[in-house]
Amino acid sequence: MITLAAGAEQYTTSTVTTAGFALGLALLGAEHWRWYKGAATPAPAPSGKGKGAAPAAAGGRSLDPKAMIPYWFGLACGILMVACPAGLLGTTAGILRWGGNGLGGTVMSTLTGRDATVMATAAAPGLDGYGAVVVTALAISLWFLRKSIAKATKGKWKKGLFTGVLLCISTGTAAFVAQTVVGGANDLGQFLLGQLATGTIL
């Protein structure tokens, strides 16, 4: 386990404030709205000239889910970071959460004159030994591939990760999503180790 400098502890938090959660929701909504608006297909120009020209076909909308994969993947990575009980990833999640709470609190206070309050504990289902294998392999792979990933893709991934850290709380729909992501990582790790290490499905 990697132990960070004790000075970093003052810049971490295990809770999400109402302002931090609002910031996460804003990022989530803005990214999906940008995707929705960007999927608009402009109407083609009329063919031919004059009165006999054929009318232009109506513009359509084609939503391509693949365009959101980097953001959704980042969202899942943020949840997995929260699920790490400690270490570099768990501590980084606490730092991002601290920053999100502070930024959201400043914006909320400036716009509304009200201070943020603690909303919930940032929590996710426990990451077991199998899930830790998946997260470790994923982190190492992303590190080695970082220079070959397009800048725009990295940007979406980072926004998704930040969103996941802020929205991963212990209650409601967010808790159900976290259970799905972390449980999936645990199950995947168990399956892979069973297949690759022993040749059997555990």
Q: Is residue 55 part of a domain?
A: no
Cβ–Cβ under 8 Å, residues 168 and 20:
no
At 76, list the tokens: 């899942």
Q: Is residue 58 part of a domain?
A: no
Q: Is residue 52 part of a domain?
A: no
DSSP 8-state assignment for residue 161: H
Structural domain that includes position 106: 14-37+64-196
| Total tally of structural domains belonging to the chain | 1
Q: Is residue 23 part of a domain?
A: yes
Write the CA distances from 128 to 65, 83, 187, integer angstroms. 31, 9, 10
The CA distance from 53 to 6, in Å, is 74
Q: Is residue 116 part of a domain?
A: yes
Q: What is the pLDDT along the chain (202 residues), one digit of tens a residue?
A: 344 444 545 556 778 999 999 999 999 999 999 998 876 555 555 555 555 555 544 555 568 889 999 999 999 999 999 988 888 999 999 999 999 999 999 999 999 999 999 888 877 778 889 999 999 999 999 999 999 999 999 999 999 999 999 998 877 778 888 889 999 999 999 888 887 766 655 5
Q: Is residue 133 part of a domain?
A: yes
The label of the residue with tokens 């730092």 reads 95
Give the pLDDT score at 22: 95
Give the pLDDT score at 6: 46
Cβ–Cβ under 8 Å, residues 115 and 105:
yes
Write the CA distances from 73 to 32, 42, 69, 138, integer angstroms. 14, 29, 6, 11
Q: Is residue 59 part of a domain?
A: no
Q: Is residue 111 part of a domain?
A: yes
Cα angle: 126, vertex 154, 122; to 5 degrees: 25
Give the pLDDT score at 50: 53
